[in-house]
Structure 1
């Protein structure tokens, strides 16, 4: 690996351009810009789920963006122009930064289009659609969701697989999670903070150096384990590793293309750390199916009823249906970010499989060097060799010692060549 002086002109140029991207994206908060007010949910519950939420284009116009959209798009266009002028058309790190500028411009366009059909169309460009195939001839995300649902239905009634009682309050979860993360990130609690919060839709959300726990949520020990590996060991760790970059500071911030990779990496961590469980998988599968329903023309009530038919409460059904329609309208195309979990899991898993098959194990830990994107991984390897990117400081043990992961992937590579239909027929008399 090349030893590069960060004070030299070339890395200083990259650092300056990178810092401009980080600064420019600061006021863009997608989830804050598209979430619905509490009054929308209260009205839906009052109508017992029989009236569409009153959300249209005019609703979003009463909630202006915290920045001038035209000026923000121009700012990113100017940065992109300066990247080409100062680094050239084919500079590897310049290509990554230009793509980021294009993505952020598209994000701004999506937020401008809140409440219109264009919102959903741009969302599909950024995060994908449920009808997307992974590879030519392969099943789509929608197919994967249905397949997982069938598997889960087969084990749903087993008493020994029922979820543990959620007997931990948010305060209990905060204390338990803080203690576990202190062992990973250091005893100094300022390294990563865990605290209660109102006003978040999910049970938990990660920031740069913190994890927020929804104050009215209840948890069990398995939930806390999942938060430890998903939010802590992936989302917070990759953010801190990005903040640790002396030159390519843009790795601390993630555009939509990195969301798919990062969420996929987080789900993979849940699986290999034995922190996932059927109910968790059902939640992710339902999100994919809800988005597909909306893409096929289902309205908000129909998606809410999809959850109700599974025995969920009206409050839970509203909360999850609103994830699919936030930023859009109750009869419009969905916001497709929640496809990132299953889509990203398959893509990251395949990437690691191929890295093991081709003997490129050194590529795998680089997934954690910041908010990375799979398509940039070969370039990141080059940037590490040049000294422009530093390897990750915080790395889960499953990725710091690749022996067990490599062995698992070797078996997996072989098993992929076996016919499951043929196995099922051969094992019919013994299972």
Structure 2
């Protein structure tokens, strides 16, 4: 490396090191005793979570010192790279985001927690573009479509006959075939400490020990957790200079989760029940933004025939970090919000003939707003192209053809089509 690359690398490593103890989901989750007490009272009392609850669970770092550390890194980036340096602008934004994350965690159990969450991840009332529907509108629209599908009665999910161990073995086998030489570094194992059915880390995927699966679920985990989350982490770790691409602030969460949902769709790994889960998360967050408390969100899930245990788990995702009557933690908006944003980006890249930018979504924990800059950094040799790519993105022929059709279809009026097709559908 030359002196410039060494400088960028050193600053990047400082960001990676500084963010290491920040574990957002660990800091906001509710413990098993809260769950047990809530279910013991048959879901008729609000969970006993307030500001004091979080004060009794201190962060794993000194918030003041950590904010100062990121501020000092940001100042050094400007001193050493200048104000308008492209990679410096990305790193400075990351420092600002991490400081905001720390402020959010400091505000656990207060109204500020939900407000900062909206700044970081968005709100359900946000529009995608001027005049477009909001995320809340999208959730209601999807619910209507899914209700029409459910009314058929013949699209049933396959029985969940795989326990956690069987799912681990099957997923490990599939990932070994995908990643080849990296198979020894990617581990799939059971875990008791996660809220979702599965979660990806830097070099592993955790499967919840008491969850059950079918083969369709495992395929979804393969493309969502494996081909996106693990792949982008490995590609970020493979960066010789911009090592910060292995770590993702909240802005990258939206892009990465959106990319993962898009992969589920184009790999035919998604299905109505999966989409219903994502839609429900959006609707539940919107309810909380509009003033619903934990019991009302809990009942929203119960009315859809979820068990009390599953209804609690889903509702607690909405209020974790907050209080049972406070503003929601809006991270779960990332799935549908990110899907729409990534899909639009790829569609526009095809329309403008900039296909080379699409695989760069996988070069690490990227954000859409950095994509043009990342293209420049690849040309400068500061960023290397992704080593691990799903088949749908390593050969862009089929994806480009699909997006060409999609671009045209977007110009057609679905309402007019519905009227014209009334006699044949």
TM-score range, shorter chain: over 0.9
Write out aligned runs for 1:106-255 (5 A): 106-186=100-180, 189-255=183-249
Structure 1 distance, partners of 2:8, 2:112, is: 34
Task: Indicate conservation of the 8 Å contact 1:229/1:266, yes or no.
Answer: yes
> Helix, strand or coil: the match of 1:186?
helix
The structural deviation recorded for 1:161 is: 1.1
SS of corresponding position for 2:39: helix
Segments of 4+ in structure 1 off by > 3 A?
none
Where does the alignment leave 5 or more consecutive residues of structure 2 unmatched? none
Deviations 1:29-59 (A, max 9, x none): 0000000000001111111111000000000
TM-score, normalization by structure 1: 0.98
Q: Which residue is equivalent to 2:251? A: 257
Q: CA deviation at 1:188?
A: 5.9
Q: For residue 400 of structure 1, report the CA deviation from its aligned partner.
A: 0.3
Corresponding residue number in structure 1 for 2:399 = 405
CA distance in 2: counterparts of 1:188 and 1:74, whole angstroms: 37
3-state secondary structure, aligned to 2:154: helix
Q: Which residue of 1 aligns with 2:334?
A: 340
Q: Is residue 52 from structure 1 mapped to residue 43 from structure 2 by the alignment?
A: no
Q: Give, in angstroms, the shift of residue 320 of structure 1.
A: 0.3
The alignment partner of 2:185 has SS state of: coil
**Cα contact 1:260–1:341 (8 A) shared by 2:** yes
How far is the alpha carbon of 1:344 from its aligned partner? 0.0
User: Deviations along 1:258-279, whole A, 9 cap, x unmatched?
Assistant: 0000000000000000000000
Aligned counterparts of 2:125 and 2:307: Cα–Cα separation in 1:
28
> Contact conserved, 1:241 with 1:252, CA < 8 A, in 2?
yes
- CA-CA distance at 1:157 after TM superposition: 2.9
Q: CA-atom RMSD, angstroms?
A: 0.6
Task: Choose which of 81, 103, 111 in structure 1 pairs with 2:97.
Answer: 103
Residue equivalent to 2:359: 365
1:199 shift after superposition: 1.2
1:281 aligns with 2:271: no
Aligned-partner SS, 1:370: coil
Between the aligned partners of 1:305 and 1:45, the Cα distance in structure 2 is 13
Structure 1, residues 231-251: CA drift from partner, whole Å, max 9, x if none? Answer: 000000000000000000000
Report the CA distance between 1:423 and its aligned residue.
Answer: 0.2
1:394 maps to 388
- d(CA) in 2 for partners of 1:36 and 1:398? 38
Unaligned stretches of 5+ residues in structure 1: 1-5
The equivalent residue for 2:417 is: 423
- Count of paired positions: 425
Alpha carbons 1:185, 1:191 under 8 Å: kept: no
Task: Tell me if structure 2 keeps the 8 A contact 1:130–1:291.
Answer: yes
- Cα distance in 1 for partners of 2:286, 2:422 equals 34
User: Aligned equivalents of 2:185 and 2:28: distance in 1?
Assistant: 30
1:327 is aligned to 2:296 = no
Q: Deviations over 1:36-90 (max 9, x none)?
A: 0000011111111110000000000000001000000000000000000000000
In structure 2, the partner of 1:313 is 307
1:24·1:72 contact (CA, 8 Å) conserved in 2? yes
